[in-house]
Amino acid sequence: MVTSSYEPKRKPGTHKEAFASERVRVILRILEKRRVPVRPATRERIVSCTDLDTLSRWLERALTVAEAEGLFGEGGG
């Protein structure tokens, strides 16, 4: 019996991009469910972020902030 060692080809960073995209989706969903308004500029900042550590920090903050801009904290990140 012949076994295949086929591995689907993926672009470097595909997993990271998928994780980032999912975190962005969850952050925006949390804010929506909590009825926290998100200004267009704030939404763009969230959507354009690809740093997983930053997105994780924002996700945690999304659970408690009163305003979406509060995600960014004192240091802006």
Question: Is residue 4 situated within a structural domain?
Answer: no
Question: Is residue 22 situated within a structural domain?
Answer: yes
Question: Is residue 3 situated within a structural domain?
Answer: no
User: What confidence score (pLDDT) does residue 15 get?
Assistant: 83
Residue 50 CB partners (closer than 8 Å, separation 6+): 16, 17, 20
SS3 1: coil
Stretch 38-59: mean pLDDT: 97
User: What confidence score (pLDDT) does residue 76 get?
Assistant: 47
Both tokens assigned to 29: 């969903």
Question: Is residue 10 situated within a structural domain?
Answer: no
Residue 65 belongs to what domain range? Answer: 15-70
* DSSP code of residue 61: H
User: d(Cα 55, Cα 21) in Å, to the nearest integer?
Assistant: 10
Question: Is residue 45 situated within a structural domain?
Answer: yes
User: What confidence score (pLDDT) does residue 16 get?
Assistant: 87
- Total number of domains in the chain: 1
Question: Is residue 25 situated within a structural domain?
Answer: yes
